[in-house]
Amino acid sequence: MTFDARGGKPPASRNNALFAVAVVAVVGGAFMLTLNYSGAPKAGPADAPPHTISAAAQAPAVQAPSGWTSMPAKTYFATLSRVDPDASSSLTRRLAKVSGKPLAEQSEVVFEHAAGLLKDHAADLARADVRHLDDILVMTRDRLRSASQSGSSWCQGARFADLDQASFADRAALNRELKMLEEPLRDYGLELVTHLLVAIEDARSHPVSRGALTQTDKAAMQGVMMSMLSDPQVMPLLMAAQTGGDAHKLVTSLNVCDLGATAVTAIKTLPQDTKGRAFADLVRQMELGGGDFVRLSQF
């Protein structure tokens, strides 16, 4: 949106349209990528390094808690047991206290535990080889494409066209709306954290030292952001929002999953060193209390 020197606020319809673009980008990256989960992680090439997600899938069998029957869940608990036995025991004790609860409530315990685990191991994670980040990006892109190809209703922009800030105020209503995503989100989250645990394990033996983000890095990231804004799906929407056109109608025509896959692909094209430093910077921010994607790309 262009700067208005008169200090006036854009019409509400323009605010909602631009907010919808942001929602499409965020939701496309955080929710849609988990749809239509296709099964266990595929094995890598025969000459792949030993610490990969496929190696995690081949970890010694560990009894997953009752009810956690999906392959991502079994792989996660096995990997956690290998990478951090103490944390694995701690999680087992926590889950024992909520064993009679629905899996959705148990999931909150698992992911809260995982968040603390990643923070505890942030120093190692920041030194992980960038190929682990590439693995996550490829996995995410593939999940999005799979959802799009399956014709998932969650790929349709119409689901987001009327969203605005107020839409997130009613947590209960939002949870009901996202109920159908509960299982795929859980499986994707487990697969994601498994990737990160494998990255931590690898970094212990093969740490990669990195400096701070450079101006060249930030310029490259801004270039990627600009390329996302010039996407054929997004550009007409931004133009309509700025000129008072029917942005709402354009939002309904978006394929959120395709848009998310395009964004992830664009991120993957960043130079390897830039991706490594950017990832390490976000990990350090997480360790201090939270990642700031906006600050990351600022000059």
Residues of the chain where predicted confidence (pLDDT) is lower than 70? 1-62, 161-169, 171, 173-178, 180-181, 241, 244-245, 247, 289-299
Q: 132 to each of 105, 185, 192, 212, 274, how far by Cα in Å?
A: 29, 20, 10, 19, 14
DSSP state of 167: G
Bridge partner list, 213: none
Q: Which of 261, 117, 280 shows the shortest CA–CA distance to 190?
A: 117
Distance CA 266, CA 264 (A): 5
Cβ atoms within 10 Å of 167's Cβ, excluding its own: 15
Degrees to nearest 5, angle at CA 210 with 206 and 214: 155
Q: Check residue 164 and give its pLDDT.
A: 60
- Is-contact 284 210, C-beta < 8 A? no
pTM: 0.73
Q: Check residue 42 and give its pLDDT.
A: 35
Bridge partner list, 156: 255
Residue with tokens 């390897």: 272
Residue with tokens 């212990």: 204
Amino acid in position 196: L
* 156 SS3 class: strand
Q: Check residue 166 and give its pLDDT.
A: 62
Cβ atoms within 10 Å of 188's Cβ, excluding its own: 21
Q: 130 to each of 19, 142, 227, 249, 270, how far by Cα in Å?
A: 32, 19, 22, 40, 11
Q: Check residue 53 and give its pLDDT.
A: 42
- Count of positions (residues) in the chain: 299
Element (H, E) at 107: helix 103-120
